[in-house]
Amino acid sequence: MSASPTPHDQSFAPDLNACRETARAVRATPCWPQVRDAVRPPGVGIHRSRPPLGLLLYGAARDGRLVWRSADEFALLEPPIARGAEWASSDAGRTWTGRLDRWWDHLVFGVPPFLLLALSVPTSFVPQVGTLLALLLVCIALLYIVAQMTLGLILRSVKRMRGTSDDSARGLHWTVVLVHLTDPAKADRLLRAALDRSQELTRDNIRPDVAEGTHALMCLERGITTVEARRAVSAAPSATGSGPDRPGVHVVLDGGGFVPPDPGAHRPISFIPVLLIGTSLAVAVVGLLTADAEAAACAAAGNCAGRPATWIDATTWLINRMVLDDAGLTPATTQARIFGWLMLPLGLVVVLCLVVAGWRQASTFKKRQERTYAHLNTTINRRLRVLVLTVLDTERDAVISAVTATNGRLAEPDTLGGYPVFRLGRLGDQGTEVLLAQSTQGIVTRAAMMLTAERLIPVVQPDYVILAGICFGLWSREHDNGTQELGDVVVSEYVQNVDHRKVTDEDGSERTVWRGERVQASAPLLLALMAATHGWTGRPVHIGTVLSGSTLVRSAALRAELRREFPEASAGEMELTGVYVATAGRRSGWIMVKGISDWGTGELTDETRRRASEAAAAFIVHTLTFGTLPVPPRG
């Protein structure tokens, strides 16, 4: 896979000025209003819950959450909300920019009224106008809180009714909240890099949790800055939709099945504690001002009974005023009465917030899995990944050309497990993802088929492995009175290993005992290829036993011996045994689909190689788009 910066490698990350310039470019995109709601969602009030975009990008770069290739190709990651406490206590999350990002919502909500309330205390001691100024500051602070909560609730409710509120998927998974691409062809590469980065950040900063399920990356469609990039992400082989009820979320996975998380295993994060703390602070300060005013007013009469003239009495009275009760106390000053009137809307807002938060909490726990993960469990687990293996450049190019001609996607070179691969995109209604790898000839060297397949399969995690390319036929119409022609396609029902043998002398003559095993190809894959011959108009397809050995056969005598010893065999080649051995004990199915390029007697040419390779590649693509390839069990 293309190299990507490590979480703390600042040489790959932009500085603050570059982040500001990039933020200007992002804000100039036509999709910015939607992008803003994804990357800077509304907070508990009418403000945004994240800092300005330039500062946000800079902080993410320092935390390792910015997957940066250039100013024209980057993605911004957001950690799971439910794992926020662990992320905040990690090395990556403890930076000052990380704290500013997390606390921005609360700072904007709480700091202005706190400063106003704190300023009102010394202001009240200013001669003549102090009390009036202090009252004005307190009123502004309370009105700020009430306006933030009320208008914020209204705005969030409207967004929720319009279906634009944040998806619950952000709670349990890493999320891509911003994708900026000027070249949509690089979308899949950027998504894979973002998935790799999220895996690194999880591994290094968040403790493992058995309730997490499969590591997946959520990508918010409204966080993608251009329409073209959105189309590219929706068509990327690494991404799939999260369901018809949430069409705006793409899920990024790198092969394998999907096990949904258990949302009940996580403690949700809520703004309620901050709300209660802020309300308590406001009541405490207002209680102090009320007690001072009442004590000063009743001091001349020498009787403060029944009046909130102490801080405890004033605070008790203010709390009771939230529910229209006076607690047996009657204020005499206009200042106290105004404070009492303000308590009612404040109390209503607090109660409303508690009710709404409780309802949202219960709704989230109830619907999270059925809304998102149940669909993922069926949709993702119904997707297929196929690894096609070849040897010759002609074989490789034939497969790439056949797939590209069908899906219109250019092959993307990549590296997996230290081996070069080509990502060819998806085929068919099932969205079967096709990857291609190449080895050297035979199975006995380090770069040959067996070791290559053995190293690649655990990394790629394919459902099926198909060996493609050329083979020599054993039932020539011209030479053997058979049914085969050059360019026909051979599918391996069985593989017969012809390397393992015992050679003895008996009665003055040499005798060979063939000890190689004979193994049937994966039944689901074999049956799917057999079904795909229905309506197939390409070269004839022959299904039978394929001889596999490390000997390059260009001898009429050896060919005759093989036909005599294995009369049921249809063809011969050199790599299939390696593929079979590499898949043994793994869930990946295997088979061979090759074209007949010669008869094993030395008549092989570049033209027959090309024709045979193209015929085999065409039948493979036809099978993958035919729709009969089953999804194997995944565990």
Q: How many angstroms separate the CA atoms of 173 and 350, rounded?
A: 30
Average pLDDT over residues 227-246: 81
For 212-226, the pLDDT digits (tens) are 677 888 899 999 999
Lowest mean pLDDT segment, chosen from 73-87, 484-498, 612-626: 73-87
Query: Which carries the bigger pLDDT value, residue 523 or residue 245?
Result: 523
Q: How confident is the model at residue 325 (pLDDT cuts 50, 70, 90)?
A: confident
Tell me which residue of 197, 185, 187, 158 sits closest to 37, measured CA to CA.
158
Cβ neighbours of 580 (radius 10 Å): 26
Q: How many angstroms separate the CA atoms of 612 and 616, rounded?
A: 6
Q: How many angstroms separate the CA atoms of 75 and 60, rounded?
A: 10
Q: How much is the pLDDT for 485?
A: 96
DSSP assigned state of 307: S
Task: Return residue ranges of the chain for CATH 1.10.287.
Answer: 272-376
Q: How much is the pLDDT for 493?
A: 97
**Among positive and negative, which fits the CA dihedral 362, 363, 367, 372?**
negative
Residues ≥6 apart with Cβ < 8 Å to 292: 124
Is 525 exposed, middle or buried (CB count within 10 Å of its CB: 0-12, 13-18, 19+)? Answer: buried
Q: How much is the pLDDT for 357?
A: 73
Whether pLDDT at 370 is above 60: no
The helix-helix angle for 606-626 and 523-532 (nearest 10°) equals: 100
Angle, vertex CA 81, rays to CA 635 and CA 40, nearest 5:
125
Q: How much is the pLDDT for 135?
A: 83
Angle, vertex CA 77, rays to CA 218 and CA 17, nearest 5:
150
Which ranges of 369-434 does DSSP label H, i.e. alpha helix? Answer: 374-379, 393-407
Average pLDDT over residues 326-343: 85
Residues ≥6 apart with Cβ < 8 Å to 331: 290, 294, 307, 308, 317, 337, 340
Task: Return residue ranges of the chain for CATH 3.40.50.1580.
Answer: 384-501+511-626
Residues ≥6 apart with Cβ < 8 Å to 635: 257, 587
For 252-265, the pLDDT digits (tens) are 887 766 776 665 54
Tell me which residue of 54, 78, 79, 72 sits closest to 229, measured CA to CA.
72
Q: Look up residue 132 and give its amino acid.
A: L
Q: How many angstroms separate the CA atoms of 75 and 417, rounded?
A: 24
Tell me which residue of 25, 104, 91, 102 sits closest to 62, measured CA to CA.
91
Q: How much is the pLDDT for 427?
A: 92
Lowest mean pLDDT segment, chosen from 192-206, 263-277, 568-582: 263-277
Which helix H or strand E contains 415, and what residues bound it?
Answer: strand 412-416
Is 485 in contact with 598 (CB distance < 8 Å)?
no
Structure tokens belonging to residue 543:
């299904």
Q: How confident is the model at residue 290 (pLDDT cuts 50, 70, 90)?
A: confident
**Among positive and negative, which fits the CA dihedral 527, 532, 535, 541?**
negative
Q: How much is the pLDDT for 11?
A: 42
For 153-190, the pLDDT digits (tens) are 677 666 665 554 445 566 778 999 999 999 999 999 99
Q: How much is the pLDDT for 2?
A: 35
Beta bridge partners of 518: 496
Lowest mean pLDDT segment, chosen from 171-175, 497-501, 562-566, 590-594: 171-175
Whether pLDDT at 342 is above 80: yes
Residue 418, sorted as left (phi over 0), alpha (psi -120 to 50) or beta, turns out to be left
Q: How much is the pLDDT for 5?
A: 39
Average pLDDT over residues 519-527: 95
Which listed CATH number (3.30.70, 1.10.287, 3.40.50, 2.60.120) goes with 272-376? 1.10.287
Is 556 in contact with 585 (CB distance < 8 Å)?
no
Lowest mean pLDDT segment, chosen from 29-43, 264-278, 331-345, 429-443: 264-278
The reply to whether the predicted model has a pTM over 0.75 is no
- Of 105-114, 195-204, 347-356, which has the strongest mean pLDDT? 195-204
Which listed CATH number (3.40.50.2020, 1.10.4030.10, 3.40.50.1580, 1.10.8.10) goes with 384-501+511-626? 3.40.50.1580
Angle, vertex CA 278, rays to CA 274 and CA 282, nearest 5:
170
Is 583 in contact with 457 (CB distance < 8 Å)?
yes
Q: Look up residue 315 and give its amino acid.
A: T
* DSSP of 45-79: SSSBSS--HHHHHHHHHHHT-EEEEETTEEEEEE-
